[in-house]
Amino acid sequence: MKSAWADPLSRPTRNQRTAERTKVMLPARLTWKDQRGSTRFATVITRDISEFGVYVECQSPISISRFRLVHFQLERDVRDVAGLPESVRQGRLLAAVYRVHAPTRTGGRQGIALRLMVDPRRRANADAATALEMVAGAVGERAKATA
């Protein structure tokens, strides 16, 4: 007998992101200080971007740990691409590394998930907008059910 808790694939997952991610491949750069205080740089390609986070792949493997603070910056000539969140258009953004995927033996690149340090008021506004959308959806569903 299988139980639901024993099989993680049997449970439905739900998207807990506060902002929708957009799949986009754009050149960018990471800058950070290593443990010795030396400035390090890495050329990366974005894979997806949201108002509060970005996932990048490194051109070559780098030594970086979780929770390291980095500066994320899209290359200047791609900042005006349609559909990008306003937070990433402004230039250098402080971000925290919150996940690092090692390169694969089959040639897959190293991936890094970053949490962008944006103005908390912007996040509160996004959370409020998401809550309003949920309420509006629930009200709309209730209206359909009673009609």
Instruction: Indicate the pairing of strand 53-58 with strand 69-74.
Output: unpaired
**Confidence category of residue 128, pLDDT binned at 50, 70, 90:** low
List pLDDT tens digits, range 21-74: 889 999 999 999 998 999 999 999 999 999 899 999 998 899 999 999 999 999
List pLDDT tens digits, range 73-124: 999 999 998 888 888 888 899 999 999 999 988 888 999 999 999 876 655 5
**What's the distance, Cα to Cα, between the start and end of the chain in Å?**
43
The reported pLDDT for the residue numbered 54 is 95
Contacts of 123 (CB under 8 A, 6+ apart): 18, 52
SS3 of residue 15 by DSSP: coil
Structure-model confidence comparison of residues 133 and 36, the more confident one: 36
- Number of H helices and E strands in the chain, helices first, is 2, 7
Cα separations in angstroms, 49 against 25, 121, 123: 9, 19, 15
pTM listed for this prediction:
0.70
Tokens 């340090």 belong to which residue? 117
- Homologous superfamily of domain range 17-118: predicted glycosyltransferase like domains (2.40.10.220)
